[in-house]
Structure 1
Amino acid sequence: MTSSRSLPELGHIIQSRANTIADWHRAENEPQPSLSAGFSMQTHEYTKHIEECRAELLEALDEMRALVLGPTSFLFFTSVISPVWTAVFNVLYRFKVAEHVPTESGISYVELSERCGLIESDLRRILRAAMSMRVFEENPAGVVRHTAISTALATPLCHDAIGFSTEEYAPAVTKFPEALQRFPGSVKAGESALALTNGSSGDTDIFSVVSHHPDRYQRFTNAMSWVTTVPETSAHHFVNNVPWAHMQNSTTRGCPQVIVDIGGSRGDLCAALLRRYPDIKRAVVEDLPEVTRADTEALISSELAGRIEYQEYDFFTEQVVKDADVYIFRTVLHDWPDDYAIRILKNQIPAMKKGARILINDICMDVSQTVSSLTIQAQCAHDLMVKMGLNAKERTREEWSELLSRADERFSIESIVSPPYSVHSIIEIVWRDSLVSTTT
């Protein structure tokens, strides 16, 4: 991590990998990556080789930027001016600027300021900063148009993801040192920076606060759904690498018939699993009433009718769906300190049959730092976000093993798969109905 490659070495890697990716797009009759507004926002599922090239290209670009900038400029651009970008994106969110820019044409600053409710001079300055990051463009002079990035920002899920980051988390950043000082080593969700920002005196966690504000909770669920579309955190890594993905004829790890996604929000993951694995007969999406109520009212696509259902469930209570084959926690347990996570796991036990599995799709921290610097950055950022949010943490393999053992020694880790280029791992846990079965 501290040693760097030379500029010519990095330049060669960048040119080589960029050419390989461009060649793939050409061979597949796919449009070349572009920042123009008409470029498709659909995330590509590249082949393994192209994924490798993409990861190597991004790693080299990241290292090249740090090397060319040098220490002082790197710190300036990375830290000193970073509050400005948070402010810019918060204004874009609060005034719905991207939504007010037509998708097929441009709009004058005068008209856009009227639509947004911002005075023109302030709007120009905000957009000038945004354009420096390739968010929007001015073409011709005086006319604001979308780029591919601002087009993405105009979508409801991405819009709410930006809102969740800037409205919920940004205020907690300055509370983080206070939380560390007031509650050193705390593992109580109500003593986190985010809880303090929302007026907690140590007894109320952020989920409890947000659950009483439907708009904020909807923003949170939309933000989590948007994260699944980001290549490095995409749900397709989970869908393509579940234990039965390549072993459908296996008698011990074959395709399950009944799956339960705990904290499954809108049901995007279950829908993807049902489409990929037709042998799954029933998928249950569990979440709090305020989440599932909205989704049960939504129209379920005809292709999934009869196979997917929504169930109100609080994972701090006993599991209500009995004898499922697989229970899934995707990016759930990392939100909770150990004592809370243990309660959640214990609540699944009364419902589990012999051989039932729990699949945890969370980060498995690599303390040896053998993965790419971008993956490490993402994992460390997640780790500090859940620390600020609920005094939780991202766990190493050893910490996952200890957590499961504390919950019940009959939980046995069967495998841990870390898909290449994914921030998250898939931890497969088998429920042994007795301790004797683990030694015979």
Structure 2
Amino acid sequence: MTLTRATDLASLIASNTAKYNDYLLKNDLPPPSLDLLPPEAPLRLPDDISTARELAIEASHELHELLCGPIGLIMNAAPRSTRIMSLHFVHTYKVGYNLGWGEKTTFAQIAKDCNLDEEDTRRMLRLAMTDYLFTEPENGVVMHSAASYELARNPLLSAWIGVTVQENWSPMLKISEAISKYPGSEEPMESAYAIAHNLSEMPFKVWERDPKRIKQFSDAMAFLHSDSGFQPSHILLGCQFSGPDPPTFVDIGGSQGHVSISLARLHPNMKFIVQDTPQTVALGAEQLPEDLKDGVTFMAHDFWNEQPVKDADVYFFRCIFHDWSDKYSVRILRNLIPALKKGARVIISDVCIPPKGVVSMYKEHWIRGLDVVMKCFTNAKEREAGDWAALFTKADPRFKFLGVRMPPGSKDAVIEAEWTSAEDVKVQPNGSESGTNGSLGSEAPILNGM
């Protein structure tokens, strides 16, 4: 009998699922379930087991699409979007957030607590149940599933969903309008996000005036950084520092210091400075563990202005440049130049789009989707390796691009460049630099106060 792609995929799913399941059994770990009480902490798997799990997921995704067929694949798009509706409803009304594991409630009680119509509530939650959010063990009775309980008990996950449904969803419906109205734009105020939210100023400026909104975004970033594949332990891999002083690591746009706190525990001999908006760094300083107060400090700094920390060893950006088009990313890099000593590293932790066909369609879908989400947000983008190299060259040829590395198990790439000049360079008000290389020209207007 001739094997088809479908049977090949089924075999891949079976073999890799068996490998994953055997590991769980041998280590007395709970089997995959959406009904059992979820573990307190995410499961950390050995690399080979994690790979087996990923291969099973990727193969099952392809098999599902293959069996649906061309028409079914297209027709399934609409039902998939309803998961966002369900999550939006649950998050908005905090449905089940006060419901314990194993406890029961009713549609009527939820409707009363949320000041909603009972039929509307029942219809929305029964839709959510088809995505394994909540269960209905008997008619009219509601209990948590593992997924809905995780959302209810994990405030960082809830914040991530809040950003998804409140900030990112509506711009997705405006992307076609935006690219028609502003073809090829690199301007944040000409983005789908600006259209959808009817903005008259930059989104980050709007958020800064709303403490709840900025906290939700900061908490969402904390959740992202805690997820498997986003841990920062590999950031300083291969970095060697010389000199009598402790190496200094400047975490630019570092939110509440989640990356620096993790790295400070791994590298207690280093000095970490976290920079972000005044509101965000105030929260970070307030929550900083007592044992790290000598190694981690916070500083309010706007990266559209000249970098105030001079002669540091590392200037680090995590998930910053994908928020900005090339025009504005060049400006961010140029604002570092007056602070840089020869040999200083610029390290960026961000997505690097792999060459076409290198990863599965399942993984590429995630990356390409993220790329367009960033287009929606500020007319920004995710970049390929060549794009990253070109960005440093455009900012200043004295940046020596060191390449892109993809640590095993990581979802973010590590992009590095080294500053090769020992000369003083001053950023001019028009965005150019003065030095032996002469003017590099104006790239982007100064964005004061962002």
Q: Residues 241 and 350 of structure 1: is their aligned pair in 2 closer, same or farther, counting only changes over 3 Å?
A: closer
Deviation, 1:261, is 1.2
Q: Which residue of 1 aligns with 2:230?
A: 235
Deviation at 1:16, TM superposition (A): 1.0
Contact 1:95 / 1:117 at 8 angstroms: preserved in 2? no
Distance 1:256 1:425, change over 3 A: farther
1:152 Cα shift?
1.9
User: Using the alignment, how far apart are the partners of 1:62 and 1:51 within structure 2?
Assistant: 17
| Paired residue type of 1:243 | L
The answer for the alignment partner of 2:340 in structure 1 is 352
C-alpha separation between the residues in 1 aligned to 2:191 and 2:85? 23
Higher mean alpha-carbon deviation, 328-337 vs 6-15, is at: 6-15
Read off the aligned partner of 1:354 and give its amino acid letter: K
Q: Say if 2:83 and 2:131, in contact at 8 Å, map to a contact too.
A: no
Q: 2: distance between equivalents of 1:429 and 1:157? A: 32
Which residue is 2:289 aligned to? Answer: 301
SS of residue matched to 2:97: helix
Give the match for residue 431 of structure 2: none
- Partner in structure 2 of residue 169 of structure 1: 168
Larger deviation, residues 51-60 vs 23-32 = 23-32
Return the offset for 1:104: 4.4
2:111 corresponds in structure 1 to: 113
Q: What is the rounded CA distance, in whole Å, between the counterparts of 1:210 and 1:56 in structure 2?
A: 39
Question: How many aligned positions are there?
Answer: 419
Give the drift of 1:242.
3.4
Gap runs ≥5 in structure 1? 436-440
Q: TM-score by structure 2 length?
A: 0.87
Q: How has the CA–CA distance of structure 1 residues 293 and 278 changed in structure 2, closer, same or farther, with 3 Å as cutoff?
A: closer
Query: TM-score, length-normalised on structure 1?
Result: 0.89
Is contact 2:186–2:325 with CA below 8 Å preserved after alignment?
yes
SS in 1 for 2:96: helix
- How much has 1:25 moved relative to structure 2? 2.1
1:93 aligned onto 2:88:
no
**Aligned equivalents of 2:4, 2:296: Cα separation in 1:** 50
Match of 1:323 in 2: 311
Range 68-77 or range 331-340, more displaced: 68-77
What pairs up with 1:381-392 in 2 under 5 angstroms? 381-392=369-380
Cα deviation for residue 301 of structure 1 reads: 1.7
Residue 136 of structure 2 aligns with an amino acid whose one-letter code is E
1:84 equivalenced with 2:51 (yes/no): no
Q: Secondary structure at the match of 1:310?
A: strand
The 1-side partners of 2:162 and 2:260 are apart by 26
1:267 aligns with 2:276: no
| 2:190 equivalent to 1:206 | no
Paired letter, 2:341: K
Per-residue deviation at 1:311? 1.0
User: Does 2:282 correspond to 1:287?
Assistant: no
How far the C-alpha of 1:391 sits from its partner, in A, is 0.4
Matches within 5 A, 1:373-388: 373-388=361-376
The whole-number CA distance in structure 2 between the counterparts of 1:228 and 1:377 is: 21
Deviation at 1:331, TM superposition (A): 0.6
Residue 40 of structure 1, CA deviation = 0.9
Shift of 1:360: 0.6
Deviations 1:61-86 (CA, angstroms, capped at 9, x unpaired): 11111112112222222x22344322
* SS at structure 1 position matched to 2:417: strand
Q: Are the counterparts in 2 of residues 379 and 423 from structure 1 also a CA contact under 8 Å? A: no
Per-residue CA shift, 1:336-371, capped at 9, x if unaligned? 011111111111122222211111111111232311
Q: In the alignment, which residue of structure 1 is the partner of 2:128? A: 130
Alpha-carbon distance in structure 1 between the residues aligned to 2:415 and 2:21: 35
CA distance in 1, matches of 2:283, 2:422: 40
Relative to structure 1, is the Cα distance of residues 419 and 55 closer, same or farther in structure 2, using a 3 angstrom cutoff? farther
Question: What is the deviation of 1:211?
Answer: 2.1
Corresponding residue for residue 50 of structure 1: 49
CA distance in 2, matches of 1:39, 1:297: 30
Aligned partner letter, 1:99: Y
Unaligned runs of 5+ in 2: 424-450
Alpha-carbon offset, residue 330 of structure 1: 0.7
One of 140, 148, 151 as aligned partner of 1:142: 140
Mark the CA change 1:228 to 1:100 in structure 2 (over 3 Å): closer, same or farther. same
Question: Is this contact kept in 1: 2:230–2:412, CA < 8 A?
Answer: no
Instruction: State which drifts further: 56-65 or 67-76.
Output: 67-76
Once the two structures are superposed, residues 391-434 of structure 1 have per-residue CA deviations (whole angstroms, 9 ceiling, x without a partner) of 01111111111110111111112231113453321012111125
Structure 1 position 44, deviation (Å) = 2.6
Any conservation in 2 of the 1:365–1:397 contact (CA below 8 Å)? yes
- C-alpha contact 1:259 1:324 (8 A) present in aligned 2: yes
Kindly indicate whether the alpha-carbon contact (under 8 Å) linking 1:191 and 1:200 is maintained by their aligned counterparts in 2. Answer: no
Could you give the per-residue CA deviations for residues 106-149 of structure 1, whole angstroms, max 9, x where no partner exists? 22222222222222211111111111111111124432111221
**How many angstroms does 1:37 deviate by?**
4.7
Contact 1:135 1:146 in 2 (8 A): yes
Stretch deviating more after TM superposition (164-173 or 329-338) = 164-173
C-alpha change, 1:129 and 1:229, in structure 2 (3 Å) is farther
- The letter of the residue matching 2:180 is Q
**Are 1:41 and 1:148, in contact at CA under 8 Å, matched by a contact in 2?**
no
Q: Is the CA contact 2:389–2:403 (under 8 Å) kept in the aligned structure 1?
A: no
Instruction: Name 2:149's counterpart in structure 1.
Output: 151
Q: 2:393 corresponds to which residue?
A: 405
CA contact (8 A) 1:98 1:153 kept: no
Counterpart in 1 of 2:26? 27
1:376 CA drift (Å): 0.9
Structure 2 CA distance for aligned equivalents of residues 29 and 272 of structure 1: 29
- Matches of 1:130 and 1:5 in 2, distance apart? 35
